[in-house]
Amino acid sequence: MTDILSSYLGGQWVAPTDEGTVLVDAATGEPITRISAQPLDYAPVLDYARTVGGPALRELTFTGRAAILKQLGKYLSERIPAFTEVSLRTGATRRDAMVDVDGGINALFVYGSKGGRQLPDSNVLPDGDFEALGKGGTFGVAHILTPRTGAAVQINAFNFPVWGMLEKFAPAFLAGVPSVVKPASATAYLTETVVRAMVESGLLPDGALQLVCARPDGLVEQLTAQDSLAVTGSYQTAATLRTHPAVVASGARFTAEADSLNSSVLGPDVSVDDPEFEVYVKGLVTEMTQKAGQKCTAIRRAFVPAAMVDAVADAAVARLQKVTVGPPADETSRMGALANQRQRADVREAVARLQKAADTVFGDPESVPANFAAGADFAAGAFLSPILLRATDPNREELHEIEAFGPVATLIPYQSAEQLAALIARGNGSLAASLVTHDDAFAAQVVLAAAPWHGRILVVNRDSAGESTGHGAAVAQAVHGGPGRAGGGEELGGLRAVEHYLQRTAVQGGPDVIAAVVGGAQ
């Protein structure tokens, strides 16, 4: 790795000239590299995307771009072991790396495959059929979708340095829109590693991808009407950028994926001996410990029938006690470290606030984890015990407002489906919810009540558990995003995400001219 991260701009790697800020290994605190503390001149960056990247991409068709995504997926797949080694330094275990690295590459395959099968070999995507607007049928309307001609600026969060980039890049690329990627500073070295491979592959048209490893000041000021801005990060960052005068004035498309107090519900039909009980507890512990809980979709609020809270707490503790916390590279570590000391301090602070409304069932944020790997350094690494809390009163606002972005979940008792629906809604909009129940009527009632507040809801029972992708997995086929606090965005969901980078236009005229326009799709 270079001493300081370069940006990939205008078709070349550009090293910064300032000293920059040191980025450290999550588990040891050792310096890895540095990242510039200065902004770039963003006008030429966006200009290159619009004048070189966009035209080069639009010289290809949907089908042509889909084929490149597949080839790129293959190229990157061959390098997964190397990416995984770098990923370990972010605090992610090898198993965690599969979610970020393999999961991100999988998004390339899904969009490559869907694009190849479902999109035309042109740059015109018909949206519905010709509809006559007069009795004679000489005049009517058809809708088409065509690539927007601006840049897709993508600002990503620290927790998924690969998946976060590729799940945005793939739909933009398929649409024919060039990406300008700004990774979060803390883990930008992993994004940079993967972008180097993408560039080296020689598969990408000039200008299709640029990487910004620098401060973002002045970036959104360059947005214009055909550009788009997709932000993943905290609610605060999303709100700041959504209301930024330059963003508002530009007319650029804006979308955000922000934080979320995701719910997981154990159905009232489930007893300790039912298979659903184990499915629920296992899912809860997985969500707490995978990526050390640093997943936007992780379970934060675990709703359990009041009479079952003791049983769920006991079963979860029995599993948590077996979770070895330790160096991500160590094969025996079930949970690695948080990304850095700042994240650990933030999580500790959030847990302290949650503890005003909840008792601690497992874990102490200040102490060495119960099952800590020998030789790991608790002071130098950003390690934290998994922490399970239990609400004293389900109505306390802390439970529904505070996101501890780490291995932290709270058990919350509920008494009825109506109360449950009201409590879930107090998250004010979430990315994901899950229900573990064998009672389809209960599931339907809760899903319909919770749907307006969620981008994705997963229902699992004994029959589907074996094939379930799990509560937290944002698969490319399913919508990822959520209303309200979750940012109001809608990423992935198959080809729905591609449409964000296309303009829908109603073309009115006679059937022949409309056929000629849409004919670009043949």
Mind telling me the catalytic residues? 257, 296
| Nearest-angstrom CA–CA distance, 50 and 152 | 9
Cβ distance to ligand NAP smaller for residue 213 or 279: 213
Figure out which of the listed residues 234, 341, 360, 419 binds ligand NAP, where binding follows CB under 6 A. 234
Cβ distance to ligand NAP smaller for residue 258 or 425: 258
For residue 354, which of 298, 410, 299, 295 has the smallest C-alpha distance? 410
- Does position 92 bind ligand NAP by CB under 6 A? no
Count of residues interacting with ligand NAP (CB under 6 A): 25
DSSP H/E element including 511 = helix 511-518
- Does position 405 bind ligand NAP by CB under 6 A? yes
- Does position 483 bind ligand NAP by CB under 6 A? no
Cβ distance to ligand NAP smaller for residue 185 or 210: 185
Residues 418-437 within binding reach of ligand NAP (CB under 6 A): 431
Cβ distance to ligand NAP smaller for residue 182 or 334: 182
| Nearest-angstrom CA–CA distance, 480 and 457 | 10
In SS3 terms, 156-200 reads as: CCCCCCCHHHHHHHHHHHHHCCCEEEECCHHHHHHHHHHHHHHHH
Angle, alpha carbons 240-241-245 (nearest 5°) = 95
- Does position 213 bind ligand NAP by CB under 6 A? no
- Does position 258 bind ligand NAP by CB under 6 A? yes
- Report the nearest approach of ligand NAP to the CB of residue 161 (Å): 10
Q: What is the DSSP letter of 119?
A: S
| Nearest-angstrom CA–CA distance, 26 and 521 | 49
Cβ distance to ligand NAP smaller for residue 281 or 433: 433
Contact status, residue 5 vs residue 34, Cβ threshold 8 Å: yes
Tokens linked to 356: 């005003």
Figure out which of the listed residues 155, 266, 424, 443 binds ligand NAP, where binding follows CB under 6 A. 155
Figure out which of the listed residues 25, 192, 227, 257 binds ligand NAP, where binding follows CB under 6 A. 257
- Report the nearest approach of ligand NAP to the CB of residue 153 (Å): 9
Contact status, residue 64 vs residue 121, Cβ threshold 8 Å: yes
| Nearest-angstrom CA–CA distance, 158 and 183 | 7
Residue 24 half-sphere exposure toward CB, CA atoms < 13 A: 15
Name the segment binding ligand NAP (CB under 6 A); options: 191-199, 228-236, 263-271, 274-282. Answer: 228-236
User: Per-residue b/e over 13-40, b at no fewer than 16 CB within 10 Å?
Assistant: bbebeeebeebbbbbbeeebbbbbeeeb
The residue at minimum Cβ distance from ligand NAP is 233
Name the segment binding ligand NAP (CB under 6 A); options: 78-86, 128-136, 257-265, 324-332. Answer: 257-265
In degrees to the nearest 10, what's the CA dihedral of 42, 100, 295, 502? 50
Cβ distance to ligand NAP smaller for residue 231 or 302: 231
Residues 8-67 within binding reach of ligand NAP (CB under 6 A): none
Cβ distance to ligand NAP smaller for residue 302 or 518: 302
Name the segment binding ligand NAP (CB under 6 A); options: 74-82, 258-266, 329-337, 497-505. Answer: 258-266
Figure out which of the listed residues 68, 124, 184, 194 binds ligand NAP, where binding follows CB under 6 A. 184
| Nearest-angstrom CA–CA distance, 126 and 162 | 32
Name the segment binding ligand NAP (CB under 6 A); options: 19-27, 73-81, 237-245, 285-293. Answer: 237-245
- Report the nearest approach of ligand NAP to the CB of residue 91 (Å): 13
Which residues are CB-contacts of 9 (< 8 A; sequence separation ≥ 6)? Answer: 40, 44, 45, 48, 210, 211, 212
- Does position 193 bind ligand NAP by CB under 6 A? no
Contact residues: ligand NAP, CB under 6 A = 155-160, 182, 184-185, 216, 232-234, 237, 240-241, 257-260, 296, 403, 405, 431, 487
